[in-house]
Structure 1
Amino acid sequence: MYANDGFRELDRQECLRLLAKVPVGRVVFTRKALPAVLPVNFCLDRDGAVLLRTSAFSRMASAIDGAVVAFEADRVDAAAHAGWSVVVTGAATVVTDPAEHARLLLAGPLSWAPAPQEVFVRIDAELVTGRELVGGRSLYSVPFTT
């Protein structure tokens, strides 16, 4: 990154604070050897892990269980040319411990598309990076000439 490129790097605590303010992010994983991205609602666990709730039979849950994935969330203000983006990278696992599952039933995210049998997926926050656009400008701020 260049010193004056308009972006500010965010530390881990800032990233987690910002993630806690938005309800939707995107899981990036590999499906059939190709990149896949799915929007999901989520919440953060006590240690900063990303928690998802999905159908026990979802293709996403089976594809990411045991895999390293990325999770991205952001907030953008197009009018102000400002915003931030945070990426969490880590191992994803389906929660199988009954006590942990019971705790997450109370503290975890609610599913926006409830299913008869649901599981929680935990993405460990092994690497947390983020940046904020602080010097946004409009491409149209330069006078148009013909």
Structure 2
Amino acid sequence: MTPVPSEPGARMVEMGRDEALELLGSVQLGRVTFTDQALPSIRPVKHLVDAGDVIVRTHGGSALLGRALRSEVVAYEADEIDSATRTGWSVVVTGTATHITDPAALARYQRLLMPWIDPEMGQVVRIQPEIVSGYRLVAATRP
């Protein structure tokens, strides 16, 4: 039996900061990455993008909040990829996490961003992007 050639895959196209942040803001779920006991740790969280910053909610005892209280660097990633067409996009933001304590800002973000697992997730963390990288996976052209 002769193997059937597979469809060409996708190719990666780098996108600019503004486009990457716009796409990041178009989805609600991503993954935050930080160091925990000298090892990488990843947590799924809901987010929103506000004025170029990534905003997430968490609970008072979370490892992420501990990083934000110390203004540590974290990474945040979200994507939307279609496994059938092998197309989509992925964005990674790297920046400093800080705990939002201003009462007006806290109330605003608690209103705009509903937690996905626990309504008692009253803490809010801002990730201020220093590095933003994004790639689109686009259908490869046939030769």
Structure 1 segments of 4 or more deviating over 6 A?
Answer: none
Alignment of 1:24-103 (within 5 A): 24-45=29-50, 47-65=51-69, 66-103=71-108
Aligned partner of 1:17 in structure 2 is 22
- The percent of aligned pairs where both chains have the same amino acid is 43
CA contact (8 A) 2:77 2:92 kept: yes
Q: Is the 8 A contact 1:74 1:86 kept in 2?
A: yes
Write the deviation string for residues 70-107 of structure 1: whole angstroms up to 9, x where unpaired: 10000110100112100111100111122221222333
Distance 1:33 1:92 in 2: 17
What RMSD in Å do the two structures reach over aligned CA positions? 1.9
Q: Give the corresponding residue for 2:127.
A: 123
Secondary structure at the aligned position of 1:17 is classed as: helix
Residue deviations 1:124-143 (CA, integer Å, cap 9, x gap): 02221100111359xxxxxx
One-letter code aligned to 1:94:
H
Report the Cα distance in structure 2 between the residues aligned to 1:37 and 1:93, rounded to whole angstroms.
17
Give unmatched runs, 5+ long, in structure 2: 1-9
Tell me the secondary structure at the aligned position of residue 90 of structure 1: strand
Comparing both structures, which one devotes a greater share of its residues to strand? 2
Distance in 1 of aligned mates of 2:68 and 2:116: 19
Which of 61-70 and 75-84 deviates more? 61-70
Residue number in structure 2 paired with 1:144: none
Q: How many residues align?
A: 131
What's the TM-score, normalizing by structure 2? 0.83
Q: Provide, for residues 13-72 of structure 1, a one-character-per-residue CA deviation record: whole Å limited to 9, x for no partner.
A: 111111111111000100011001111111111x11111011112222113431011100
Is there any run of 5+ residues in structure 1 with no aligned partner, and where? 138-146
CA distance in structure 2 between the partners assigned to 1:14 and 1:117 by the alignment: 30
Q: Which amino acid aligns with 2:52?
A: G
